[in-house]
Amino acid sequence: MKFGVFDHIDANGMAIGEQYEQRLRLVELYEKRGFYCYHLTEHHATDLGMASSPSVFLAAASQHTRTIKLGTLVYLLPLHHPVRLLEEIGMLDQLTGGRFQLGVGRGGQPAEHSRFGLAEEDLGPMFEEALGIILEGLAGDLKAHKGTYYNLPDVPLRIRTVQRPHPPLWYGTASSHRNQWAAEHDVNLLCLVPNARSREVFDDYREKLARLGKAEPCIGLARQLIVAETDADAERIAERAWQPFVRSFNWLVEHLGRPAFPIAQTFAGAVEQGLAFAGSPASVRDFVGRARDEAGANYLALEVAFGDISEHEAAQTAELFAREVMPAFEE
């Protein structure tokens, strides 16, 4: 298995500039400890995402690292003009020396899109049209395009990616509805749903890959994870940190007076759902083994800094996981 880090950069009580510096130090640590990729989400107008421009933060991270891959999970395509985004993708792949990973999606919190004046019913069609333009642009210059949302002339793209034909694609999903497209484009999949539901998605995906004679990309899960010397210590840290994370998760919808998004109200509840875990290295090895076997995952993206997790606590998780868990899953 491969292991990466998944991050919201949700509000943690620090001054925002200090939080960015903290996260950059942690990204350096993730690289030193052998994590495969650092994945950053995109959120707007909410405490759930204090790095509302993933490109800006990843550009900074590119200058603090040399080997770890850096990627978006995901760019919210309805919020980006595709030509502008193509230029940023080219810049990031150049700045990282070919380490950029391109995650795309439409976004799961329409309340954020409403801050930009977008209607929820437009998000799906906008995503599809923008994705087509971006994939065309990554393959070469853009031809004139006249669509529902974008009317573009011929566009010669002056900033090309290092990786050809384009950086690896990532897609976060909870269903099989885009598996055929993903198989055709060698997309890495990441599920944020329980193991059994993820298994259905992954089995279908592997079947479609096999029909096309394609090699298996990363097929993985995103999970909140805390590691400490004992189960009790890890669970104490995780339960404390979960409460501010839940508040951040629903900050915007509560601000707007909309119904809350479903999220476990306690860390124990998230563990019961199979979406999170906290424990000693031995317990975490068992958790990872179950995730691998029950979901059929070959990749795990860990969110180790959430809520009010301190830098020391996040570093402890990364250190213990790298030293005492990763070796058990080396090929």
pLDDT value for 109: 87
Q: pLDDT tens digits, residue range 74-107?
A: 999 999 999 999 999 999 999 999 999 999 999 8
pLDDT value for 277: 98
pLDDT value for 295: 98
Q: Where along the chain do its domains lie?
A: 2-36+59-65+180-329
How far apart CA 203 and CA 128 sit, in angstroms, is 24
| In contact, 57 and 9? CB cutoff 8 Å | yes
328-331 own/partner pairs: CB under 8 Å, 24+ apart: 328/285, 328/288, 328/289, 329/1, 329/3, 329/288, 329/289, 329/292, 331/1
Residue 40, pLDDT > 80, answer yes
How far apart CA 248 and CA 306 sit, in angstroms, is 10
Q: What is the mean pLDDT of residues 30-34?
A: 98
Alpha helices, DSSP H, located in 216-280: 231-249, 251-256, 267-273
pLDDT value for 51: 97
Nearest to 1 by CA among 219, 281, 247: 219
174: its two tokens: 């909870």
Residue 47, pLDDT > 90, answer yes
Q: pLDDT tens digits, residue range 221-276?
A: 999 999 999 999 999 999 999 999 999 999 999 999 999 988 999 999 999 999 99
Q: What is the mean pLDDT of residues 266-290?
A: 97
Q: What is the mean pLDDT of residues 115-143?
A: 95
Q: pLDDT tens digits, residue range 310-319?
A: 999 999 999 9
Band of pLDDT at residue 281, cut at 50, 70 and 90: very high
| Helix, coil or strand: residue 139 | helix
- Burial state string for 42-66 with b = 16 or more CB within 10 A and e = fewer than 16: bbbbbbbbbbeebbebbbbbbeebe
**Burial group, residue 229, by CB count within 10 angstroms (0-12, 13-18, 19+):** exposed
Residue 26, pLDDT > 90, answer yes
pLDDT value for 144: 96
pLDDT value for 107: 86
Q: What is the mean pLDDT of residues 17-28?
A: 98
Cα distance from N-terminal residue to C-terminal residue, the chain: 7
pLDDT value for 108: 82
Phi, psi of 255 (to 5 degrees): -60, -35
User: Which CATH fold would you assign to the domain 2-36+59-65+180-329?
Assistant: TIM Barrel (3.20.20)
Alpha helices, DSSP H, located in the chain: 16-32, 54-62, 82-95, 110-114, 120-139, 179-184, 195-211, 231-249, 251-256, 267-273, 281-295, 311-324
Residue 331, pLDDT > 80, answer no
